[in-house]
Structure 1
Amino acid sequence: MREKILSLAKGNFIYETPKLCLSIEKLVFEVTAGTHGTASFLLENSFGTRVKGFGTVEEMCIDFLPFFDGTKNELTVDVDAGELNPGEKLKGNLDLITDCGEEKLPYEITIVSPVLRDEEGEIRDYPTLKKRIEKNPEHGVDLFLAPEFRDAFLYRDESGRILYDCLLKKNTKLQSLEEFLVAMKKKKAIRFETEHPSGRELIYELDGIDKADAITIRVNTWGHAGIHVRTTADFIEVQTHVLWTDEFVDRRDVLEFTICADKVPAGRRHGDLILQTPYEKKVIHIIAHNRIGEKERKIQRARKKAIAMAIRMFLSYQEKRVTREAFGKFLKKNREILEKISGTYEQAVRGYIAVILREKENILSFFQETENLKMPPLGESLEEVENYILIQFIKIMDSERKEDRIGLANLISSYAENGYQSDLLTYLLTQVDERYRFGHLLEKDLRTQLESGSNSPLLYSAMMLAYREDATLISSLDDVTINAVNYGLKRDLTTKEVSLAVSFLGERLPHFDARVFSILQKLYEFFVMTDTLHGICGMLIRNEIRDAKYFSWFEKGVNKHLRLTDLYEYYMYTIDTEKVRTLPDAVLSYFQYENHLNDRCKAFLYAYLVKHAGERPEVLEAYGEQIHKFVERNLAHHRITEDLALLYEACVTEETLTKEMADDLSEVMFSHRITCGNDRMDGVVVVHRETKEQTYYSFENGQAVVSLYTPNTQLFFVDERGLYYSGTVDYRMEKMLSMEKLAPVCYELGARNPKLITHLAYKAERSAKMTDMQAVVLQDALQMDCLRRKMREKILLCLYDYYHREGMAEPLFSLIEQFNPITLKRERIADVAADCIAQGKYEKAQVMLLRYGVPECDKDAFSTLVEALVKEHKDESEPMLVKWALYLYHQGCAGKDAMKYLRRYYTGDLITFTSLYEKCRKMPEVGADEDITERLLAQVLFVGASQEPYEPIYLEYMESGENRMLVKAFLSQLAYDYVVERQELSEPMFVKIEKEAMYEKDAVMVLAALRHYRLEEHFASKQKEFVEMNLEKFASEGTVFAFMKDYIGKVNVPFEIENTVIIQYYSGAPGEILLCETDRDGKVKKTMPMRQVFSGVYVYEMLLFDGEEKYCYIEEQTTGERTEVMCARRTEQAKGALGFFHMLNDMIAAKNTGDMELYGSLRRRYEKDRFAAKKLFTLQ
């Protein structure tokens, strides 16, 4: 600007200012909400020359204050959309103040929602994002992790941001993406199925060769999950141990595996192929059959089965459970098989069958065959001895001679003394030895053999028969006795006496024996004896067995009114609370007076009484005191179960609640039970949107009791590796207590649990009209460090509104200290800022209003702030402060200091500047000082605006202004505009120009004065002298103007002016201005350059004789613009004009009129004068 003023002061004028050229007609672009956005445009002029200037904008969200000085200027607009919402539009004008004039560029800026982008374009919604992820999971992860994702997809979604942050903190990137999409309900959780023609049980027949097979795995949806593969047997070998679902083709993959023949021994082996994700498990059972030796194994199994069947039938006959006839039929039917499988004992078996069937011929044959059978000597095999003894026993069966029995008994004993011991020999001895008529001897010898490791049914049968005869033989419940009694139960050989003996001993066992208990169960089921029931219950109580599966025994004991210590307690310990509907009166009466139950059972009992209070109110009343003590004690330990929850709700009321109970109740009040069936989950993390805490609860039997004190919760299930799952894990949640109505009561009683306060704060901030107590709650909530920022801001704003409504100035002032000016909610900035201003907290208010809210802020308060700030920054220009002061000016409420600030620092369009100047002049306390006047006048000149409206300001400044260069520049520009006929002169301005012309001799001033004088008919002597002198001077310099011809006949005019036709043209175009002479038809005859006599002024002088005409037009060489064709002709010259040109012209006129006398006279004179001139001058 200074450069142009100096140029004008020196007389350098520009006739035609180049036009501003902008690359756009309107600045239209979009900015993402919550971010900064920029846009640029180019500024140049129509001549392609340097453009100098600056830009401004009044919109506070836009930063545009460029200074430029170049031929092509790229200007950038910066928009702060940090507090703007999607859908909002900014409309207005950018002001461009340049030496080529002023221009207003309209803008329309639309605030849009954040957008995620990639090389394929914008991703504005989840369906589009899902397509990208399906197409390329790795690229999908990159998009998910991009900072723009949070802004685009989680814009103002606090719950979504919590979910996003927690998952990324704990999980892998792909797993986080999968869990996020499922939790946000944007995709299904991955589930898989296995496909095989044989289903889920695969059988493989092996012939020494490995078998390869495969299972097809199909998933229900796209996504990322690892299907982990393991086996329970080494003969199953899998190709891979992990299948990743994002690598599936068409949502399918194949798991190949091999059955290794060398790891399957002869026979069948079983194993499982287990496929598992974090969400589910599939088990495929595999059976591998090695056929080697299959035939031999079948024969062996058949032989064992036949032997076992034969022994069972033999013992049934011996135990008199089947008749001889029935046994005989069995033997007869299976004779061939029995003889075949008998091996060494075939002959004996054949003889035994003949004896049983009473087949005389076969018996005779048997005796004949064995008549000469020699007794095996010592040293012979046990098998030979057994066969010999068995043959002898069969013979005795037929002869039944006593002496033979005695002899055989002695023989068996003799062999036994020499080391021949076996189950068969011992059994045969029991059948022939007379000693065994005494049961205790029989029991003793059988026990000895059985304790040595025998497990023969022959011996157990013999022992059980002995117990049937004499139950007193049962003296202990060792392994032998237990096995014997068990055998008797299976073979239906037990008696009541045996049952009593076993029951008596069982009740007194020092430890719990599952086999004995099983026997007692069977005995009770068989005989239903009270003693046995007593023994069963006694064993369980003494060994403190409390499993629910034993409840039925205690129930039977209670129903039988057994006199057994702790029977009723164990009835309660083992009761299935889900199944039992009614408690016996005996139980209710028993615990009324003596109650040593554990807390779980007490809770169930008391809850039962509460549930059935309508049926038995007198019983509940009798329990009243102990129930209330129980409730208080458990509440003090913060325990919670379903039964305790019922008791709390029944016993804890507003009337009974104490301060101590209030503290404890607030700990359990918000309890919920979460049940998760996924055995891979170790626990659950609970995150509330209102607090920063993440609380972990471990699972016990798939359950956890968690505290949910607001509905805004996020659950993350945690597996054994610590990974988080949300949305993909199935669970069930039950609310355990419904006592939130007592939350305010607890608070009033002094409870200050953070859960309670957060719960009440959540309720309060959502309340339509806050109560006094809620205000106190919110005050307490502000003291907690666990609140999230947004919750804290909500509370602050709720209290702010409450204090305003109640007119509580002091708390309000204190509260405002706690507001964070950076994060305060946009909609409330204006109100809070106004209160900050009222309290003198200008810095905080300034930070708030710099974000947003100036238009909504109370105008008086805002004016107070601006007044204070401009005083503080009076010696420095702050762009935003200028905008604020200007905003107040437009609103008509700017104070004096704001106006002074604008007076000193405003830069902008000329109209606003002029208006501001006038306003300052009208405010005595502000005034329009010399500085603003200089800047205003300078801008008028800089932008090339019309000076006429500013002449009064200029005239005033001219008298006392210090910047004389500006004075001269303004006057020079005005003079120039008058000279080139762009502006008329007012009388006061002419006076100033005339003075400059007379005394300073400035060319433009002189020309302006000459043009102004041309209209006068008479001149004072001084004026005439001034005119004639300057006309002569300019003519001699070649500076002639068309207006100078107006002086002809008034003063002495130079020949060049008087006798030429002056063609004058104004142009600011670069290059030559051409005068093109044409004939009458418009054809160009010749072209002559016009002469520039002054800035923007071009002339061409023609000497034409009387009646001569010339046709021509003017053309700008660079622009191609041209005028219409015009005719130049000579007008009549002034009378008495002298000179050769005039003589010639007069002779031509006299001849044309036929005045030959005058023509001759003029010719003689012309020749005489020309002769004299030739003597005096040398003509070139």
Structure 2
Amino acid sequence: MKEKIEQLARGEFEYELPFLRISVEEISFSVEAGKQYEASFHISNSMNRIMKGIVLSSDRLLTLGISAFRDKECIVTYKFDASFLKPSDIVSGNITILSDCGEAVLPFEVHVKAPVINTSIGKIKNFFEFANLARMDWTEAKKVFRSEEFERIILKNEEKYHVIYKNLLKSISTSQALEEFLIAVNKKSRINLGINKTYLEYEIRDEDLIDKLIITKNHWGYAEIRVSTDAPFITLEQKFLWADRFIGNNHQVSFVVNAQKLSPGINYGRIYIRTVYQTITVDLICKKHRDSNPETAAIRQTMKRRYDYTKSYLDFRIGRISLNRYIQDTKALLAGVNNPEEQTMNKLVEIHLAILSENKRTAAKLLDELSKEEVPLRKRSIFEYCAYLYLLALYKRDEETIQYVTDTIGRYYLSGSYDWRILWFLLFTDKRYERNRSYKLADIREQFDAGCRSPILYYEAICVYNEEPYLLRELNEFEIHVMNYGIKTNCLNMDLIMQYTYLVSRLKSFNSIVFKGLAILYKNYEKEEILSAICSLLIKGFKKDSKYFHWYSLGVNAQLRITELYEYYMYCVDESRMDPLPQPLLIYFIYNSSLNDSKRAYLYANIIKNKKDNDQIYQLYYKTIEVFTLSQLKAGNISRNLAILYKEFMNKPIHNKLFSEYLPEVMFTHELICDNPNMVSVAVVHKEMEQEETTALCDGKASIQIYTQDASIFMIDSFGNRYAVSIDYTLIPLFKSEEFHGIFMDYDGHTKLLLYLFDHYRINRVISRDSIELRKHILQIQGLKESYYIDCLLTLIEYYYENYDVNMLEQYLLKLDLSKVKDSHRIKFLEYMVIRGYYDKALEALRCFGVEGISIHRLLKLCSGWITYARLDKKKEPFIYLCYYVYSQGKYDETILSYLVKYYNDSTADMLALWQSALDFDIDTRILEERLLIQILFTESDHKENISLFLNYYNKVTNHLIVRAFLTYYAYKYLVKDEKIGDELFPIMRRELNYEENDICLLAWLKYNSNNTDLAENDLNFISYNIDRLDRQGIVLPFFKDYKHIIKLPRRITERYYVEYKTNPKKQVFLHYRMLNNNENGEYITERMANTFLGIHVKEFVLFYNEELQYYITEEQEDEVNTSESFVIRNKADDMLDNSKYNRINKMLIALESEDMTELLDMMEDYIETEYIIRECFVPLS
């Protein structure tokens, strides 16, 4: 602007000021509440020249990307901030453009609309519409769910779901989080699966089998489905399914049964279909038909027959079947043998049956037949040969035969044929085994160590042990397997059982086979020794699972004297049961207390629960329980049993102080029980706190803290997904609120108790001294959510305002950030700030959310008070907006006006109105006038107040450059543009000309006074001097002739006629003229008119009497030519008053025209004489 003012002061003007071109006539748009809107418009000018200017916004919500520009074309970006506006709000204002091409005001109007999210199904803004989107396009719904707009728009009026939304977003799977959210807001139900079959049975031969299952779902939505199998012969086509990809509500799961991986016979397998909510099991039975190869079938038949024979034999030996039944079953087995290779073995079995049945004739016959084949038999099969020898000895029973058989069989056995069957023959022929049965056990053990697991040998060992139990001296693997067989077959005698029980009690570690065997023995005999061995074995194995409680309970009830028996009873006991514990156990733990704290808590809780029935035990334990309870309380431990202990002592006056200090940390504990095996932890989110509390589930249980209403509980699965409502759980409070309400507790330092009480006061709207003191402590809690911090702060402020506690009110007002306060409360608390004079905070808040709805009187106090008390003397844009808003509402005072006078800038019209208001208050307006004058000159804008503004400023002028520029500019308009200006300016121009030269003002003043005949002497001298000076400079304007009646002018001015044309000095001006004499028209003569002064083109002519000059003018610029109308100039008779040479000639022409020859001759004579005298008597000045 300064550059433009200097140009005007120097008399540099643009004849034609280009006009601004703005790409839009007005700005009108809609914006969503809570969002920002950005756009732009273009500024250019009609002459496409470089322009300079500034842009201003009348509203704080619409900010401009630039404040100044200098270019041929300018793009102005603007941003509208609707962050704190509400739907249906309308904001209007102006963008003012001040440039050296003029001033323009661009109006804008903004309509605030309800926020929506644009989707493929249209605009959505609530849960119902969002649920429709999820149903139609799950993928797009996920993107919306994760976007910032979801919480801002969909959840805007649903505060209770904000916590659920934010915490579900922590899930690993966005789809699962979305599914759970829709369930939580009651827009869909949980997906449950069904299946068409849960049992499948197939008969498989050599080819693979392909089949499918059809899974159905009951609702739309998302579910991750895992398909698995426990059978290697089942191959699944898909291991993962997603419910949103079902066709309709069905999906096929194909699988293949691999024939090559099936074993002959019946194969079992399962297919599991799992979601986080359910597991569906499909049982498969695949019957693989055996190979039809005759050889293989024969082998299988032989193996089955041998198994059946062995079983039948052992049943006979053990006594389960009679001899006749054994013979009968065996003959039936032999009848089905057709294989020639088994004929020898069949004969051997027949001989054995004949001997057992004492059919000596048949036995002798068959032995005789085999004796004839003895040599081939020996070569063919050593086992069959040894069997023959054994039967021979069994038949004859003489010493010689027995010795021969024993030696022969022993030789074969020791020569490398360590066949357990051959050993079995020896066991019945070798006298050595009868003399020392330990040899028999040793050889059987040798076979066991070699890998033999024949039940026949097990039975032979059992027989030895039954006869001589003392031979069972230790329990190694062999002995354990033998005794286990004996227990299963129930063939142990009592002495052996007792010996076994004794050895078990000496074992150093747990053995599952031994335990199962003892359990069978105890079931059969219920011997205390067996029970003692069982309990000892379990204790050595550190078995503390509840499934072993039965044995410990039996042991305790039997009052067994086993180290740690009572402790292990306690480890395994079901703590949910509170029936009285055994009396011996209670007496034991009076003096022996090696239990861990958890079990001690159960023990003591059980005693307390049953104290009415066993007061004596209660009294004996009382002091111990008390000490334990207080130590656990101090340690901050809590469980269901500890809660019982705390309740027992917390109402005793002697412990009031201790419970007041420590109970608040544990009394809000709840036990959560969840049976879903997929859940691994639980997160508790209190709406008042930023941080969540996560606890791992142990056996489906967790202890969590819940101390305010509506706390949110999220179950977390092993993949990290969260569930708000769809997973079932049970929540059991360890304390009921009425149980601790009568206890005085100091909440200082106890966050949980503070928030519990705060929640109670807030819900019940309790405002008292106690609740106010509590809120002061709430403000100090680390991690408190901002919304609750503000809520607490507002309550304190309102309380102290209503109770006139100025100091406390100020303390909390200073902490309040008004931008965080809800719209419905914000105005009231802002007014509190204004009342208390906290202007900085109030202004900062107003800058964010505006002044709508606030009392204009409060705003007036804010503005006026801040300026006064803060001695504000600097430019602050937000404050300027606020002050002008107050002023625009017609409520203002001298203080606000003075501030605006100093700093307000906007359109010239608005600033002129402000200037007028300031004048009414008699305020010093020079600084505003100076800004206004500069703005008016810069933009060359025309307002009716311009002259009066200048006149007021001129009275107390501070910047003479502005005065010179203004006068020069208006002089130019008057002189060149022939515009009417205020008469008051011309005396000022005359005054300023006394101090400095200014030809524009001078010429304007001369033009203005050219018809003034009432001028002072000094003005006449001034006029005469300057016209003469201008004449010498070649500046002669037609109105100079008007002064001929009051001052003496040079005849070359007075005797001339002037053609004047005003236009842009950049144009070339041509005069086309011709003389009109005696009605004769000559040709037009063309001459270029000189630019005499700032676009005033003047051409002078000498016209004698009765001469006429006809002319027209053309102006040219580049390729453009403009032609004026035709004009005529005539010689005027009243111009011949003086006796100049020029006039004397004109008079002669008049006499000539009137044919007054005498007069003509006299004038001619006089003219000649005068010219002669002048020529002879005067010499021209050099």
Paired residue type of 1:308: Y
Paired residue type of 1:863: S
Matched with 1:399 is none
Deviations 1:829-851 (A, max 9, x none): 77777777877877666655554
Given the superposition, is the C-alpha separation of residues 271 and 1164 from structure 1 closer, same or farther in structure 2, using an over 3 Å criterion?
farther
Paired residue type of 2:912: T
**Deviation (angstroms), 1:568:** 8.4
Which residues of structure 1 form unaligned runs of 5+? 397-403, 1078-1084, 1148-1157
Is residue 798 of structure 2 the alignment partner of residue 804 of structure 1? no
Matched with 1:936 is 932
Given the superposition, is the C-alpha separation of residues 329 and 265 from structure 1 closer, same or farther in structure 2, using an over 3 Å criterion?
closer
- How do 1:511-526 residues align onto structure 2 when only pairs under 5 Å count? 514-523=512-521, 525-526=523-524
Select between 1040-1049 and 294-303 the one with higher mean Cα deviation: 1040-1049
**Deviation (angstroms), 1:801:** 3.9
Matched with 1:401 is none
Given the superposition, is the C-alpha separation of residues 810 and 96 from structure 1 closer, same or farther in structure 2, using an over 3 Å criterion?
same
Matched with 2:103 is 102
- How do 1:177-196 residues align onto structure 2 when only pairs under 5 Å count? none
Matched with 2:1178 is none
Deviations 1:921-952 (A, max 9, x none): 4556x5234x4444434444444344653544
C-alpha separation in 1, matches of 2:985 and 2:85? 52
Matched with 2:60 is 60
Paired residue type of 2:864: S
Matched with 2:302 is 303
Paired residue type of 2:776: Q
> Aligned to 1:661, which of 649, 659, 662?
659
Deviations 1:993-1030 (A, max 9, x none): 67789999977667766776788899999999999999
**Deviation (angstroms), 1:107:** 2.2
SS in 2 for 1:60: coil
Select between 649-658 and 542-551 the one with higher mean Cα deviation: 649-658
Given the superposition, is the C-alpha separation of residues 1115 and 524 from structure 1 closer, same or farther in structure 2, using an over 3 Å criterion?
same
SS in 2 for 1:735: strand
Paired residue type of 1:912: D
Matched with 2:777 is 780
- How do 1:602-1001 residues align onto structure 2 when only pairs under 5 Å count? 629=626, 634-642=632-640, 658-672=656-670, 690-691=688-689, 693=691, 697-701=695-699, 703-709=701-707, 711=710, 717=716, 724-727=720-723, 732-737=728-733, 739=735, 741=737, 748-750=745-747, 752-760=749-757, 768-787=765-784, 792-793=789-790, 795-815=792-812, 818=815, 851-852=848-849, 856=854, 858-867=859-868, 871=872, 873=874, 877-880=875-878, 882-887=880-885, 889-890=887-888, 899-923=897-921, 926-929=923-926, 931-946=927-942, 949-955=945-951, 957-958=953-954, 961=957, 963-975=959-971, 977=973, 988-989=984-985, 992=988
SS in 2 for 1:748: coil
Deviations 1:730-774 (A, max 9, x none): 855443316473788778335633444455556666774544444
C-alpha separation in 2, matches of 1:383 and 1:1075? 152
SS in 1 for 2:1155: helix
- How do 1:48-447 residues align onto structure 2 when only pairs under 5 Å count? 48-64=48-64, 66-77=67-78, 90-109=91-110, 298-318=297-317, 321-337=320-336, 345-354=345-354, 362-363=362-363, 365-366=365-366, 368-369=368-369, 383=383, 386-392=386-392, 395=395, 404=397, 447=441
**Deviation (angstroms), 1:306:** 1.7
SS in 2 for 1:103: strand
Given the superposition, is the C-alpha separation of residues 757 and 232 from structure 1 closer, same or farther in structure 2, using an over 3 Å criterion?
farther
> Contact 1:376–1:388 at 8 Å: present in 2 too?
no
SS in 1 for 2:924: coil
> Contact 2:1070–2:1087 at 8 Å: present in 1 too?
yes
> Over aligned residue pairs, what C-alpha RMSD do you find?
7.3
SS in 2 for 1:56: strand
C-alpha separation in 1, matches of 2:861 and 2:944? 38
C-alpha separation in 2, matches of 1:608 and 1:709? 27
Paired residue type of 1:913: M
C-alpha separation in 1, matches of 2:743 and 2:1107? 120
Select between 801-810 and 479-488 the one with higher mean Cα deviation: 479-488
Matched with 2:1177 is none
Given the superposition, is the C-alpha separation of residues 725 and 1128 from structure 1 closer, same or farther in structure 2, using an over 3 Å criterion?
same
- TM-score using structure 2 length: 0.69
Paired residue type of 1:327: Y
**Deviation (angstroms), 1:26:** 1.8
**Deviation (angstroms), 1:35:** 8.1
Matched with 1:1150 is none
Given the superposition, is the C-alpha separation of residues 645 and 30 from structure 1 closer, same or farther in structure 2, using an over 3 Å criterion?
farther
Matched with 1:41 is 41
**Deviation (angstroms), 1:549:** 2.7
> Contact 2:195–2:214 at 8 Å: present in 1 too?
yes
Matched with 2:1155 is 1161
> Contact 2:581–2:606 at 8 Å: present in 1 too?
no
Paired residue type of 2:307: A
Given the superposition, is the C-alpha separation of residues 1075 and 776 from structure 1 closer, same or farther in structure 2, using an over 3 Å criterion?
farther
Select between 30-39 and 157-166 the one with higher mean Cα deviation: 157-166
C-alpha separation in 1, matches of 2:1165 and 2:137? 109
- How do 1:488-503 residues align onto structure 2 when only pairs under 5 Å count? 490-491=488-489
Given the superposition, is the C-alpha separation of residues 313 and 22 from structure 1 closer, same or farther in structure 2, using an over 3 Å criterion?
closer
SS in 2 for 1:94: strand
**Deviation (angstroms), 1:706:** 3.7
Paired residue type of 1:41: F
**Deviation (angstroms), 1:93:** 0.7
> Contact 2:269–2:285 at 8 Å: present in 1 too?
yes
SS in 2 for 1:917: helix
Deviations 1:697-754 (A, max 9, x none): 44434544344555565858485xxx74435998554433164737887783356334
Matched with 2:1076 is none
Select between 666-675 and 461-470 the one with higher mean Cα deviation: 461-470
> Contact 1:904–1:932 at 8 Å: present in 2 too?
yes
- How do 1:977-1056 residues align onto structure 2 when only pairs under 5 Å count? 977=973, 988-989=984-985, 992=988
Given the superposition, is the C-alpha separation of residues 990 and 128 from structure 1 closer, same or farther in structure 2, using an over 3 Å criterion?
farther
Deviations 1:242-265 (A, max 9, x none): 99999999999999999999x999
SS in 1 for 2:945: helix
Select between 296-305 and 117-126 the one with higher mean Cα deviation: 117-126
- What percentage of residue pairs aligned between the two structures are identical? 22
> Contact 2:305–2:333 at 8 Å: present in 1 too?
no
Select between 513-522 and 1120-1129 the one with higher mean Cα deviation: 1120-1129
> Contact 1:101–1:945 at 8 Å: present in 2 too?
yes
**Deviation (angstroms), 1:1071:** 4.8
SS in 2 for 1:752: coil
C-alpha separation in 2, matches of 1:1141 and 1:216? 133
Select between 899-908 and 377-386 the one with higher mean Cα deviation: 377-386
Select between 521-530 and 1086-1095 the one with higher mean Cα deviation: 1086-1095
> Contact 2:222–2:244 at 8 Å: present in 1 too?
no
Paired residue type of 1:1161: E
**Deviation (angstroms), 1:92:** 0.7
C-alpha separation in 2, matches of 1:386 and 1:964? 145
Paired residue type of 2:801: H
Matched with 1:1081 is none
Which residues of structure 2 form unaligned runs of 5+? 1074-1082, 1173-1182
Paired residue type of 1:350: E
C-alpha separation in 1, matches of 2:229 and 2:794? 57
Paired residue type of 2:391: I
Given the superposition, is the C-alpha separation of residues 93 and 654 from structure 1 closer, same or farther in structure 2, using an over 3 Å criterion?
farther
Number of aligned pairs? Answer: 1119
Paired residue type of 2:96: D
> Contact 2:19–2:46 at 8 Å: present in 1 too?
yes
